[in-house]
Chains A and B, each alone.
Chain A
């Protein structure tokens, strides 16, 4: 039996909007447990509260009600033990690739020599050796996200939160990055909570998928993806899980179609 890593207890989040005249129920009584070492996906349409929930897990936002426990301790503030990777890369444009990857180590006060060694090893892990001295603007979107991943891994976090990290990449690069993050997750034994609105991405990556719906944001169902890795996107099992999720989102046509010409 695997250990509970993140426990979400009755978390609700309201925002006041329209100059405080209106309340927006972004999240409504979320209960969820994520296991240590698990690859967990939050899947749902835009605006259903995925980012809000991730921000609460990462300590950037406080829930209106309920609480989040990581290793049994309540989350109150951001912590380098759990690092978020955003869709927007958030690299430091004035720093080189090496400088970016070293950032967290510098903050942690590690010796220079050791910083360089660790940063180099993670640059290698994300297959960017040779690009150490480049600046972010010289890199493609996929490469930038590799830098962000290396920068995150360098501080050896226990949990990595990812908020649609591959959302602005083209389809091919996106699949490459999905394979890449799977490989890294298998090598590094991290717990990953990954937000996406892409059904196939969720199935490809996740051990389990929480299906969310919006207004108010709720978790409707948690689906276990029992597929051996590496997953085959074209296998029948893969497609049947996809069908099941389509059903969840009621995206499948229920009635037989009648074409009229």
Chain B
């Protein structure tokens, strides 16, 4: 009897997110049907689904998703290529870190959005200003993760490697890079998450394509059903990106034998 009750509870537990969505949809539908708000300002779930299908059939959805994703990946990869080596360097050489630290601390709190005017002036129109914005966005999480990755390396491991005759280059290639990898991955995941948030804003200000532009454009035509459809799609893609990164992060962590990320157990 106990068993039965527990299994029923876990079944309920497993599907609880589904119920939350269902509840939300129901409330949404009831409010939309109640006539409290104009349908134009408060589209019903059904309208949003129809709008999604329409966007899909017109090919707008695929075009804008591709545009947003390709900007995010370009900026993100550029940032990674730049920030990982710099971060490892700053983590290794305390004096260099000391020299760069104030600069990083001042640049970091500036919202990437604040760079948009300059980005457009510098890079004109097209993809390049958006890629630049994503580069700026991704830079700091990756940089900071890489710096602390190096600082977290077990000094005894380095001592052992030196004992076996490892020189500076060996230490870098065979110790610092592999030992930092799991921590750097965390930074990459965080950076990609923020980049996906920022790209929408960037596309609303300066772009003629992408999910951000799509939402803004739909609003101009008072297609709030398409606005909401765009928002939901952004959320879903963000979730998928995060899950993919989390999968890589976890498999590396398992391979490295790091249960938590405090270092070697």
* Residues in chain A within 8 A of chain B (CB atoms): 58, 60, 78-80, 83-84, 86, 88, 90, 92-95, 103-104, 106-108, 135-138, 155
Q: In the complex, which residue of chain A has the Cβ closest to the Cβ of B156?
A: A90
- Nearest-CB distance from A57 to chain B (Å)? 12
Inter-chain CA distance A83–B162, complex, in Å, is 10
Q: Which residues of A contact B181 (CB under 8 A)?
A: 94
Chain B residues within an 8 Å CB radius of A90: 154, 156-157, 159-160
Provide the bound-state CA to CA distance between A92 and B179, in Å: 8
Give Cα A22 to B149, complex, Å: 34
CA distance A88 to B156 in the complex (A): 8
Q: How far is the CA of A86 from the CA of B160 in the complex (A)?
A: 9
CB neighbours of A155 from chain B (8 A)? 164
Bound CA span A179–B121, Å:
74
> Which of the four size classes fits the interface of chain B?
20 to 34
Contact surface of B with A, Cβ cutoff 8 Å: 154, 156-157, 159-166, 170, 174-175, 178-179, 181, 255-259, 264-265
Bound-state CA distance A107–B160 (Å) is: 12
Complex-state Cα separation, A230 to B138, whole angstroms: 63
Contacts A88-B156, A107-B170, A135-B257; is A93 near B264 (CB within 8 Å)? yes
10 contacts between A and B (CB under 8 A): A78-B163, A80-B165, A84-B160, A92-B179, A94-B178, A94-B179, A103-B161, A106-B174, A108-B165, A136-B257
Contacts of A135 in B (CB 8 A): 255-257
Q: Give A37 to B11 CA distance when docked, in angstroms.
A: 67
CA distance A103 to B164 in the complex (A): 8
- With A94-B181, A137-B257 known to touch, is A78 a contact of B162 (CB < 8 Å)? yes
Residues of A within 8 A of B178 (CB): 92, 94-95
Q: How far is the CA of A138 from the CA of B259 in the complex (A)?
A: 12
CB distance from A149 to the nearest CB of B (A): 13
Question: Of residues B156, B163, B179, B257, which shows the largest number of chain A Cβ atoms within 10 Å of its Cβ?
Answer: B163
B265 pairs with A80, CB closer than 8 A: no
Q: Are B164 and A83 in contact (CB under 8 A)?
A: yes
Please give the distance in Å from B49's CB to the nearest CB on chain A. 47
Question: Contacts A86-B160, A90-B157, A92-B178 hold; do A107 and B257 have CB atoms under 8 A apart?
Answer: no
| Contact partners of A60 in chain B: CB under 8 A | 159
The chain A residue sitting closest to B158, CB to CB, is A90
B170 to chain A, nearest CB (A): 6
**B175 near A92: Cβ-Cβ < 8 Å:** yes
> In the complex, what residue of chain A is closest to B258 when comparing beta carbons?
A93
Assess A94 versus B256: contact at CB under 8 Å? Given A84-B163, A103-B161, A103-B174.
yes
CB of A92 within 8 A of CB of B163, answer no
Residue of B at shortest CB range from A161? B163
Bound: A252/B177 CA distance, A: 53
Q: Separation in Å of the A64 CB from the closest CB of chain B?
A: 20
Bound Cα distance from A136 to B154, whole angstroms: 15
Write the nearest CB–CB distance from B206 to chain A, whole angstroms: 43
Contacts of A92 in B (CB 8 A): 157, 174-175, 178-179
Alpha-carbon separation in the docked complex, A88 to B265 (Å)? 10
- Taking the closest CB of chain A, its distance from the CB of B144, in whole angstroms, is 22
A106 to B170, CA, bound (A): 10
Assembly CA distance A93 to B260 (angstroms): 13
The 3 lowest CB-CB distance pairs between A and B, nearest first, are A137-B257, A104-B164, A90-B160
CB of A241 to closest CB in B, whole Å: 33
Q: Tell whether, in the assembled complex, residue A138 and residue B159 are in contact, meaning their CB atoms are under 8 Å apart.
A: no
Asked if B156 and A107 make an inter-chain contact with CB atoms under 8 angstroms apart, the answer reads no
